Amino acid sequence: MTKTAHGITKRASIGAQRNPASEEAILSAAAEILSEGGLSAFSIEAVARRAKAGKPTIYRWWPSKAALLLDIYHRQKGETFYPDTGSTRGDLIAFLETLLGFWKKSGGEVFRSIIAEAQSDPAALEALRDYAVTRCRASGVILERGVTRGEIRSELDIPLVMELFSSFCWQRLLTGRLDASREQLTHMVDAVVTGFSTE
């Protein structure tokens, strides 16, 4: 396992070590197919043809279609989701706004597909579970800053609380309600923050 700047765990290669050029070709091909034809055009076979790579190579590095989609999704999403606004309340509102805003674009469709595939594919479920756990831990930087500022109780179970916020976002994604207003998001944040604030 390796980690990105925000502590996101990336699964190490299975079998032979990844060739950086081949990995880039596969990820670029996969992203192009998604951009051009959407999820209906996306398959390991299509990616292999576009990248001029063998299917065994792709499956050795990404054990399921969902695992490959997760890598593409994380690339699209980037590392800019935890802005420091100067307050925990502001940070959480910004986090929710940014994530839901990203999901209104192609990212939401990709992530819904990953969740759907995880319901029937054990390998996809494992990849999604690993990603969700590490994402909650990484987003915990928001509450860790709050503890440092003295706004948040130090004994707080930070991953659990961030899972509450992630669950809110996932529910909105899966029910097609990404157009939450700033007022709604503020009410959500205030309802939760009241329970662990030092005030």
Q: Which CATH number fits domain 2-75: 1.10.10.60, 3.20.20.70, 3.40.50.2300, 3.60.20.10?
A: 1.10.10.60
CA dist., res. 62 & res. 67, Å (int): 5
pLDDT tens-digit readout, 97-134: 999 999 998 789 899 989 998 999 998 899 999 999 98
In the CATH hierarchy, which fold is given to the domain comprising 78-193? Answer: Tetracycline Repressor; domain 2 (1.10.357)
DSSP state of 84: -
Q: Directed axis angle between helix 44-51 and helix 20-37, to 10°?
A: 120
> Could you tell me where in the chain the CATH 1.10.357.10 domains are found?
78-193
Helix (H) and strand (E) counts for the chain?
A: 10, 2
pTM: 0.81
Residues across the chain: 199
> Could you tell me where in the chain the CATH 1.10.10.60 domains are found?
2-75
pLDDT tens-digit readout, 48-90: 999 999 999 999 999 889 899 999 998 888 766 788 999 999 9
DSSP state of 182: H
